[in-house]
Amino acid sequence: MGGTALISDMHGNAAALRAVLADIKDKGADRIVCLGDVVGYGPEPLECIDLVAEHCEWTLLGNHDYAVLYEPTNFNPAAESSSYWTRAQLDNESDVEKRSARYRFLGHLRVRYVDPKLGNGKPVLAVHGSPRRPVNEYIFPDDAIHAVDKMRNIFDLVDGYAVVGHSHVPGVFTNEPEFYPPDEVGEGKVYKFIEGEKAVINVGAVGQPRDHDPRASYAIMYEDRVQFHRVEYNIDETAEKIRRIPELSNWLADRLYEGR
């Protein structure tokens, strides 16, 4: 019981988000915060914005939120097309109040946030991507082996703990540097904090996991530990909606089944 639920990368997948919110309620977390990419790729961006706005204490700006609100930059064709389609859904809302509330929500998303209530008394840095480039930089599991300088630069900017999303691959980076997927962090997918250590925790993706496990991913952080969770949801529901929308590539439906 207690703790802060960390969710990220819903990507317009409302079926996954609803399942995760129900699971968080079951587990009795005190509050929920969101690390960004509420929209983009998925078929229900408006419902995801409304749910996140209702349930999350604060929410960060992800690269897809930025793309929908301003413009997509360096996006592949499927991502770019989904950004413009998502933007059109926001604009097509006939209820003026709702339309402006959603734009207000997206317009106020933060690029980074240092949360005094997360972790063991030390403030925890929250960003969507990385502490160096908060909105756009990926930290990949392989970086612990192939990009040691990059990891050193990133850890120079971390005082204790940071929480991130963006890569859609959950796990814990330590400054050895090393990467531990949830199955290797400890009994029950619980990573216990060690006095004086530094770690970057990726909570994985609610709406589009890419670690070959199609279940929605999130984590709950307590004073002394973080626990990773996976939640089954109705993938057919989301995939069928994607396939019915011409602007959303069918690949975006297929990948949900494979978790990649």
Residues that bind Zn ion (CB under 5 A): 9, 37
What angle is formed at CA 66 by the lines to CA 207 and CA 8, rounded to 5 degrees? 30
Q: Least distance to Zn ion from the beta carbon of 217, Å?
A: 12
When the beta carbons of 93 and 105 are compared against Zn ion, the nearer one is 105
> Measured from the CB of residue 91, what is the shortest distance to Zn ion in angstroms?
22
| 12/182 with CB nearer Zn ion | 12
Bridge partners of 178? 174
Our measurement of the distance from residue 61's CA atom to the centroid of its chain's CA atoms, rounded to an integer in Å, reads 10
CB of 195 to Zn ion, least distance (A): 32
Do residues 164 and 206 touch, judged by C-beta distance below 8 A? no
The nearest distance, CB 202 to Zn ion, in angstroms, is: 11
Q: How far is CA 1 from CA 8, 26, 50, 198, 224, in A?
A: 21, 9, 26, 25, 13
Residues 6 or more apart whose CB falls under 8 angstroms from that of 103 comprise 69, 90
CB of 30 to Zn ion, least distance (A): 25
Residue 177 preceded by cis peptide, ω within 30 = yes
Q: Compare residues 184 and 258 and give the one whose CB is closer to Zn ion.
A: 258
Residue nearest to Zn ion (CB): 37
Instruction: Decide whether 9 or 213 has the Cβ nearer to Zn ion.
Output: 9
Which CB sits closer to Zn ion, 3 or 35?
Answer: 35
**133: exposed, middle or buried (C-beta count within 10 Å: 0-12, 13-18, 19+)?**
middle
- Rounded to the nearest whole angstrom, what is the least distance from the CB of residue 122 to Zn ion in the complex? 27
Residue 190 sits at φ, ψ, to 5 deg, of -105, 125
Residue 37 or 211 having the CB closest to Zn ion: 37
Are the CB atoms for 105 and 53 separated by under 8 Å?
Answer: yes
